[in-house]
Amino acid sequence: MQRTESPLIALAILLAALAGFVDALAFTSLGGFFASFMSGNSTRLGVGLGSGSPHDAAIAASLVMSFVAGVILSSVIVRARPRRHQPVVMAVVTLLLALAAGTAMVAPGPIVLLLMAGAMGAENGVFQRDGEVTIGLTYMTGSLVKMGQKLAAALMGDADRFGWVPYLALWLGFVSGVVIGAESQFRWGWNALWLAPIFAGILTLLLASMTRPQPVTAG
């Protein structure tokens, strides 16, 4: 995150809000499973296996696999288009979320959640460089650890006094998305899911604009 330009950091916060929004819809609509928080689904998998609930374990395992499939898909896109992969990855995220919203209208259930998890896995490819994710957009544990480390460094007198602020902003973006998602689900049910591909489409256009190559002018 230290090497990321400020406009892209702002966009990362919006993407984290999108992930929080989608996660809230998944959690509140489908029995406490997650679209982006795979540690939570891994816990549900283990609890399901340990408590003799194979149905819950199967759902959790399917969500983890769908999330990983989304990561694989975005990684292939990054490898194929290393210079301008970000808008392409976000276009895929938008498509998966639109498919999830459309499916929810006719068959709300686990298939919708699988599509949402795939979209969240793919979203992590937006900030991928040299095969590594530079900003985790759908999980906040790493951001909170980094924030704590930067705060400790600032308290111990390091020159970078405010290096923790972007990580706090990323976490706040995610939590804000969760709040909006929970409120939207309460008001509109599954119809609220349509807000996700609309917002993702706007972010896709922003990324396309921000990463457009600048014309070369003659000196």
Backbone φ and ψ for 133, nearest 5 degrees, come out as -75, 120
In a domain, 71, yes or no: yes
CATH classification of the domain holding 77: 1.20.1250
Q: Is the pLDDT of residue 1 over 60?
A: no
In a domain, 191, yes or no: yes
CA dist., res. 178 & res. 185, Å (int): 10
Residue 18, domain extent: 6-208
In a domain, 87, yes or no: yes
Q: Which two tokens stand for residue 165?
A: 């602020």
pLDDT band at 73 (very low <50, low <70, confident <90, very high): very high
pTM, two decimal places: 0.88
In a domain, 213, yes or no: no
Give the residue from 139, 16, 122 showing the smallest Cα distance to 78.
Answer: 122
In a domain, 215, yes or no: no
Q: Tell me: the pLDDT tens digits for 119-174?
A: 999 998 888 776 666 777 777 888 889 889 888 988 888 877 888 888 999 999 99
Contacts of 98 (CB under 8 A, 6+ apart): 197
Question: How many structural domains is the chain composed of?
Answer: 1
Q: Tell me: the pLDDT tens digits for 159-213?
A: 778 888 889 999 999 999 999 999 999 999 889 999 999 999 999 999 888 877 6
Sign for the pseudo-dihedral over CA of 53, 55, 58, 63: negative
Q: Where are the beta strands (DSSP E) in the chain?
A: 128-129, 132-133
In a domain, 105, yes or no: yes
CA dist., res. 115 & res. 35, Å (int): 9
Residues in the chain: 219
In a domain, 37, yes or no: yes
Q: Which two tokens stand for residue 200?
A: 């993702």
CA dist., res. 85 & res. 103, Å (int): 27
